[in-house]
Amino acid sequence: MQGKPGKVALMAAWSVEAGFYIAAIAISLLAGALVMAAAGVTPWEAYELMWQGAAGSANSLKETLVKATPLLFAGLSYSFAYRCGLFNIGAEGQIYVGALTGTMAALLLPPMPFGVHLPLALLCGFLGGALWAGIAGALKVGRGASEIINTIMLNYIAIFLISYMVTGPLMDAAGSLPQTAKLPASATLPQLAGSRLHVGFFVAIGTAIVLYWLLERTTWGFQLRSAGLNRRAAEGMGMPVRRNLLMAMMVSGALAGLGGYVEIAGVQHRLMQNFSPGFGYDGIAVALLGNTHPLGNIISALLFGGMRAGANSMQRVTGASTSLVYVIQAIMIIVMLVNKHWLGGLKKRIREALIRKVERSDSASGSTQLNWNE
């Protein structure tokens, strides 16, 4: 019985958070319906078409998972940095650099078996993103420069760097488009028969689970979170805060870089100019909707991926612009931020009321049992 009050408090907290989370999504969808109606689109029909396009069939569900994969990697990138007290706005550039280094490993290395070539290319994508983010991390810990400004500027450098590479040194000699030659089969991710779904989705899910374990179950993860919560206190405890911040920034970039090459190896099969429609920036929205929790990112990435897949179906039938989906996503983020930062007092009062109700119920149950025994 000693642990029961703690369990009741934990269950009350989870129940309230889940309730407010569901309510926030419902409010966002309702607000989105109003926007659709104002645009001349029937909300119920649009949502039905979006559902059919996202999960109405096996192929639709697979397409949702394809679109969710790069969003999950980008969301994990931002979430990891945020949990460590950093703001990595540079996932977009890190995605591009990871795609570039992975593609170079795929195209320039001599032929080798699939079991060696693909892991090596993925590792190069991982390291490319880490090194690109490490530039901002080094400036942060060494000179105190804002990682927000530096990562944004590095995004543009990375995008123009890839544009140069695919129109110059890495351009496909057999064509005239700004893209590389097709990747060899030994460096591409296997796809499920009859769909675009590739094993990169399962790599992303595994990465989220490993990231959760790293942050919540390891000593290093505790040190990283401590530096994010209170840097001065962590330094006072003798933790290597500067080194940890640099490593956190590099791991954050590595996740984005890995996601970049996964997109190339699983979907595009060649590096091309402007291959990302903004995965890195959308990853910030995924992270915020998932409460910057690695496992929460899985849910939010699936939601956003489903909305992207469903938007195409809605546009084909109704002619409505897919931009409506981005409006709904923006509304979701605003509602989630209000839920997180402005409704804390209300949620606390509801939790306390639930706990008191459970305690009164237990007390009444105990009294009834005592009378029965007598």
Which residue ranges make up each domain of the chain?
70-310
Q: With cut-offs at 50, 70 and 90, classify the pLDDT of residue 362.
A: low
Q: What is the mean pLDDT of residues 88-96?
A: 97
Q: With cut-offs at 50, 70 and 90, classify the pLDDT of residue 2.
A: very low
Chain centroid offset of residue 324 CA: 21
pLDDT of residue 81: 95
Q: With cut-offs at 50, 70 and 90, classify the pLDDT of residue 172.
A: very high
CB under 8 Å, gap of 24 or more: what pairs does 154-160 form? 154/90, 154/93, 155/89, 155/90, 155/92, 155/93, 155/280, 156/93, 157/93, 158/92, 158/93, 158/94, 158/96, 158/97, 158/132, 159/92, 159/93, 159/96, 159/274
pLDDT surpasses 60 at 4: no
**pLDDT (tens digit, 9 = 90+) per residue, 298-343?**
999 999 999 989 988 888 888 878 888 888 888 888 888 887 778 7
Average pLDDT across the chain, whole number: 89
Nearest to 280 by CA among 303, 255, 298: 255
Nearest to 61 by CA among 188, 208, 207, 192: 192
More confident residue, 239 or 3: 239
pLDDT of residue 369: 53
Q: Percent of the chain scored above 70 by pLDDT?
A: 94
Nearest to 132 by CA among 109, 150, 108, 105: 150
Q: What is the mean pLDDT of residues 76-100?
A: 95
pLDDT of residue 76: 97
pLDDT of residue 374: 53
Burial of 257 from C-beta contacts in 10 A (0-12 / 13-18 / 19+): buried
pLDDT of residue 298: 96
**pLDDT (tens digit, 9 = 90+) per residue, 183-235?**
999 999 999 877 899 999 999 999 999 999 999 999 998 988 888 777 788 88
Q: Which of 162-176, 218-232, 271-285 has the lowest mean pLDDT?
A: 218-232
pLDDT of residue 370: 47
Q: What is the mean pLDDT of residues 50-60?
A: 90
What is the radius of gyration, based on Cα positions, of the chain?
Answer: 24
**pLDDT (tens digit, 9 = 90+) per residue, 11-25?**
777 788 888 888 888
pLDDT of residue 5: 59
Tell me the longest C-alpha to C-alpha distance in the chain: 93
Residues 6 or more apart whose Cβ sits within 8 Å of residue 235:
241
pLDDT surpasses 90 at 159: yes
Q: With cut-offs at 50, 70 and 90, classify the pLDDT of residue 35.
A: confident
pLDDT of residue 126: 98
pLDDT of residue 1: 42
